[in-house]
Chains A and B, each alone.
Chain A
């Protein structure tokens, strides 16, 4: 183990996968100049010994995604990066009609093995065009997979799996993760897609989260511990497919559930989680599920208004108190 930032860990994942498989290449706007929107590709071409495998794209999001679909159908494994999740709506056709459906519609011909990396979330006063968390949009589309890592080690293992996976994967990475440090194994490893992880054992309440919310939930759990509450934290890792078994097992154990995300609460992925829990584990519930997320508003730029859109440890703590009362 050694301490690495998320940026370093995922950079290594890219490098290792590109060295492992010559069909992997990376394409994004600004991927050369400053090494991507978060500097997470700096020197990648040199590191894999072929600068042609890191392509600096024109500002043409639809062509970036569509060309990845075409290249995948022709046998390559593109990793593209949207710079910010808010570029995704620009190419919804390419993602939802072309990437998601091609193989199915064609009766199993062709595989759309591609990864779409999307830094997302609120950082600091970037305004409404650079901050959305859109995972629920894509979790609603059959044919796509949606992966949302929570730490450097998770990011590396999940990114490697996403690249090797034969399906189109939308890979959301919270912008604040890139500087996060954590222990990363030295040896080769991958993390399976579709398998959640119990990030912290507990018995009184299940906090179900993913992505950046995992560290916030763990922080909340620590505080709750001091108050005598034993909180279990489930890191979903992927929201499509999502690991129902792990979630339901935790719910059956604790009987109380808080679902939290940074995305807008209305129709967020938490709605799917709480509906499923209601359908399949109702008898185990001691109190109704509490689901928290951003208010139904485009993220405002002004700092205090922006703060009201974050889902922070304090919000999780107060949600836990609600389910306990």
Chain B
């Protein structure tokens, strides 16, 4: 059972991600920010459900679509927004941008511009935690497309062989960039969690649009990982939607954008969460409205902060390259 406080905090996280990314999308479309922006809209329940089971000292490795993971792990919105604008006050002092946001204070070891770049890094972080005896575990988020990278195989094998506490969280949104699964062009196996069998890894498939399913399965995997049960590793496949294009500005020649959006609207994880809480009598509609209002304000503040912040000084070009 969840307390009202907990439920509100999960809800707030999901709404923060939603509004942050809708604002990022707006700003990118308006040309206020440039560069590649991949939004996490529609997948909020996954990052939120997964990170709700983690401690600040646990590690996550994220993807090019990483804002949601970063927020859910506890990063501050102002420096994140400033980072998208390339400002000196950004999480990475403006050097990373959307695809390279990191926040080591909260165990967020970085978004990654390389699809499938995070698997081995997460294994390394788990190995470090074992040497350091911190009890931390490590989570790597990845898409269905990235699951076909060889890096997945090597990392999954290594993690399982060495019984490292790594949880592989697959965000199966049914489409790899512009290639839908339904064409069969990406992989023969429909159920990606079957791959866990090849490593002797515990696995679950859940509805990624339902916060409670994600949370429930993740909780079990985290318990195994921390408790040293079996080989400690786990695989969580979360089936979800990607309502928008691969990237902001993607015209989605490869599918009917209205249909994709409609499918998501009928199965929106935030609405699903509200419905469940109301049906169960846990929260009231006005609770949600209050959160929505508060978050809007926070996002506006983050935007203003980003706009008001200076760009990095030219003298910063070489800082942090070598020590």
Contacts and interface: CB of A to CB of B under 8 A. Distances in A.
Interface of A: 22-23, 25, 53, 55, 57-58, 60-76, 78, 93-94, 97-98, 102-111, 142-143, 145, 165-167, 241
B1 interface: no
Of all A-B residue pairs in the complex, the 8 with the closest CB atoms, nearest first, are: A66-B120, A70-B124, A107-B92, A70-B121, A63-B154, A67-B124, A107-B93, A74-B128
Given A70-B128, A109-B92, A111-B323, A65 B114 contact: no
Nearest to A99: B121
Given A76-B132, A143-B321, A105 B117 contact: no
Given A62-B151, A66-B155, A76-B132, A108 B121 contact: no
A76 B127 contact: yes
Interface string B130-149: 01100010100000000000
A261 B263 CA distance: 61
Nearest to B312: A107
Given A22-B131, A67-B124, 13 more contacts: A60-B154, A63-B155, A66-B155, A67-B155, A69-B120, A69-B124, A73-B125, A74-B124, A75-B132, A94-B120, A104-B320, A105-B95, A107-B96
A324 to B, nearest CB: 38
| Count class of interface residues, chain B | 35 or more
Contacts of A145: 322
Contacts of A109: 92, 102-104
Contacts of A63: 119-120, 123, 151, 154-155, 157-158
Contacts of B59: 70, 74
B269 interface: no
Contacts of A104: 95, 320-321
Contacts of A107: 90-96, 102, 320
B110 interface: yes
Given A57-B158, A167-B323, A106 B110 contact: yes
A111 B117 CA distance: 17
B122 to A, nearest CB: 6
A102 B125 CA distance: 14
Interface of B: 59, 61, 90-96, 100, 102-104, 109-110, 112-114, 117, 119-129, 131-132, 136, 138, 150-151, 153-155, 157-158, 161-162, 319-323
A145 B94 CA distance: 24
B67 to A, nearest CB: 15
Nearest to A113: B323
A57 B93 CA distance: 36
B157 A70 contact: no
Nearest to A193: B322
A166 B323 contact: yes
Given A76-B132, A97-B113, A58 B154 contact: yes
B100 A76 contact: no
A6 B104 CA distance: 39
A71 B124 contact: yes
A69 B323 contact: no
B255 to A, nearest CB: 29
Contacts of A55: 162
